[in-house]
């Protein structure tokens, strides 16, 4: 498990005074401000962050050291990370997406189905995108207690009981 967890990204500049368009990946979007200062993926650069107002698809925000529209534009696409210790601990049946990506997925009989490529959510529920050697295309496995009864982060395994015909 990585010490850094992606909590948001910069979508570009907002206005002409150095504000940025911020997308928050937090369960409660406003909580991203509480994890400031955020870092880049390497953890080397630090970015103090203050939300200024909600806007369509996110927030307008001020970042330390960013004073002009050009400086804000230069940050477009930057993924922002918080240290795991800054984030709240989760109940036993909840997981950070970053902890699930890369885990091996086995069926209830012990056969390797594949590996988690990504975690997606299109509105109804989370889906685990699986890929593996026996699959012609990626498979989207519902991340429900019925379809995924066991997630063992210590051993890096997920036990799945996929719906009939899915795999």
Q: Are 47 and 35 in contact (CB under 8 A)?
A: no
Residue spans per domain, the chain: 4-86, 97-160
Q: What is the pLDDT of residue 83?
A: 92
What's 4-86's CATH class?
A: mainly beta
Low-confidence residues in the chain, pLDDT < 50:
none
What distance in Å separates the CA atoms of residue 140 and residue 125, rounded to the nearest whole number? 11
Tens of pLDDT, residues 61-101: 999 999 999 999 999 999 999 998 888 888 888 888 888 99
* Tokens read off for 2: 């990585």
Share of the chain above pLDDT 70, in %: 99
Q: What is the pLDDT of residue 22?
A: 96
Q: What is the pLDDT of residue 32?
A: 95
Q: What is the pLDDT of residue 121?
A: 82
Q: Are 41 and 4 in contact (CB under 8 A)?
A: yes
Q: Among 28, 13, 29, which residue's Cα sits nearest to residue 61?
A: 13
Cα–Cα distances (Å) from 125 to 81, 109, 121, 159, in that order, read 24, 25, 6, 18
Q: Are 60 and 53 in contact (CB under 8 A)?
A: yes
What distance in Å separates the CA atoms of residue 99 and residue 145, rounded to the nearest whole number? 17
Q: Please tell me the pTM assigned to this model.
A: 0.74
Q: What is the pLDDT of residue 125?
A: 82
Helix ranges (DSSP H) in 21-155: 69-74, 97-100
Report cis status (omega within 30 of 0) of the bond before 37: yes
Q: What is the pLDDT of residue 167?
A: 75
CATH tag, 97-160: 2.30.30.240
Q: What is the pLDDT of residue 52?
A: 96
């Amino acid at each position: 498990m990585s010490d850094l967890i992606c909590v948001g990204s910069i979508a570009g500049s907002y206005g002409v005074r150095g504000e940025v368009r911020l997308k928050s990946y937090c369960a409660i979007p406003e909580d991203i401000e509480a994890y400031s200062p955020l870092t880049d993926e390497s953890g080397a650069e630090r970015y103090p962050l203050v939300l200024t107002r909600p806007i369509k698809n996110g927030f307008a925000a001020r970042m330390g050291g960013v004073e002009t529209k050009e400086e804000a534009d230069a940050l477009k696409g930057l993924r922002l990370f918080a240290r795991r210790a800054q984030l709240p601990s989760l109940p036993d049946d909840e997981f950070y997406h970053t902890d699930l990506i890369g885990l091996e997925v086995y069926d209830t009989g012990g056969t390797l189905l594949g590996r988690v490529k990504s975690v997606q959510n299109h509105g109804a529920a989370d889906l685990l995108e699986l890929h593996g050697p026996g699959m012609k295309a990626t498979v989207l496995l519902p991340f429900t207690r019925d379809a995924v009864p066991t997630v063992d982060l210590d051993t890096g395994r997920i036990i799945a009981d996929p719906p009939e015909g899915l795999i």
